[in-house]
Amino acid sequence: MASVSTPARQAAAGSRRPAATDRPRSAGRTGWLFATPFLVFFTLFLVVPLGIGLWMSFTDSSLTGHGDSTFVGLDNYTEAFGDSQVWETLGNTVWFTVLSTVPLVIISLVMALLVYTGMPGQWLWRLSFFASHLLPVAVVFQIWNMLYQPDRGMLNAVLKAVGIDGIGWLTDEKYAMWSIALVTLWWTVGFNFLLYLAALQAIPDHLYEAAALDGAGAWRRLWSITLPQLRRTTALIAVLQVMASLKVFDQIYLLTKGGPNGSTRPILEYIYDTGFTNYRLGYASAVSYVFFGVIIILSLAQLKIFSRRED
């Protein structure tokens, strides 16, 4: 594998120019030929459902109503903007995004820095930190549901052993979202960890050697070389993580069903509940599109912040 990757990598450095092509005429047909299979899937299973969803958001379509729905204009959207549940669940989603993104960036960086030191046992460290990323959500639920049990769970037993009263990890409004963020950290940190590890390995040794010759100590090298060199990766990981965290649904749905008292309910669960439990597909679609708008605005803002900082 290494021998294959080398020429391609070298190549990547050599020819980074905008797509300029040689034979425009026949290339046009070939291009379509190559792109068509993907475009068929893309259209059928992304563009069309997006369109159907958008259409539904302007109707009173419902799960029970066998498709016969009437056009209601912007009614669903007016309702959504005035719906306190929408804002509350959107707030929960953003709160979860903050609670999960910060540790998911920092801890994955710490893990990668520690593993990058080349300590013996590389195989074990990488396995420990990445393995949980491979678990299906049902398994994550099973494990943490046991650990979090208030009266019989292991975490509270450990707390009791050191003399602290057990807490309602998933049942106390004060802690539930933190517990969910903790599960998410445990479950998904491995991917960011691998991205950081790859980035660390790409920092050329001569930077460190030069710094060492100039008498820079280990901490100095960390602050002046390693962290600045990782800035792009950090920006990328933060953007990807925010997008992923905003889409949180599975683990919350399984662990708390949005409770206690709606304190962990993310907006996607509200959409799901409105659509599938209350059968109001039209309204659920409208809320989906409001949420989609929020995601786009947040992503663009983030891209802008990070790309400015890089210049």
Nearest in space to 285 (alpha carbons), one of 43, 62, 44, 42: 62
Which DSSP letter does residue 71 get? B
Residue 81 amino acid letter: F
Considering only residues 39, 98, 164, 301, which one is a binding residue for other proteins as defined by CB under 8 A?
39
Considering only residues 89, 129, 257, 265, which one is a binding residue for other proteins as defined by CB under 8 A?
129
Report long-range pairs for 131-134 (Cβ below 8 Å, ≥24 apart): 131/190, 132/186, 132/187, 132/188, 132/189, 132/190, 133/187, 133/188, 133/189, 133/190, 133/191, 134/190
Nearest in space to 299 (alpha carbons), one of 241, 248, 249: 241
Please, what is the minimum distance in Å from the beta carbon of residue 103 to other proteins?
13
In DSSP terms, 71 is beta-bridged to 59
Establish if 293 lies at the interface with other proteins (CB under 8 A): no
Nearest in space to 93 (alpha carbons), one of 280, 259, 289, 249: 249
174 vs 232, beta carbon nearer other proteins: 232
Contact window for other proteins (CB under 8 A) among 68-76, 97-105, 196-204, 255-263 = 196-204
176 vs 199, beta carbon nearer other proteins: 199
Query: Total number of residues binding other proteins (CB under 8 A)?
Result: 137
Residue 4 makes CB contacts below 8 A (sequence gap 6+) with none
Considering only residues 21, 64, 165, 213, which one is a binding residue for other proteins as defined by CB under 8 A?
21
Kindly write out the interface string for residues 40-59 of this chain, putting x where it contacts other proteins by CB under 8 A and - elsewhere. -xx-xxx-xxx-xx--x---
Question: Could you say which residues in the range 208-247 bind other proteins, by CB under 8 A?
Answer: 208-209, 212, 217-218, 221-222, 226, 232-233, 235-236, 239, 243, 246-247
Tokens for 271? 């959409």
Establish if 301 lies at the interface with other proteins (CB under 8 A): no
Kindly write out the interface string for residues 75-114 of this chain, putting x where it contacts other proteins by CB under 8 A and - elsewhere. -----------------------------------xx-xx
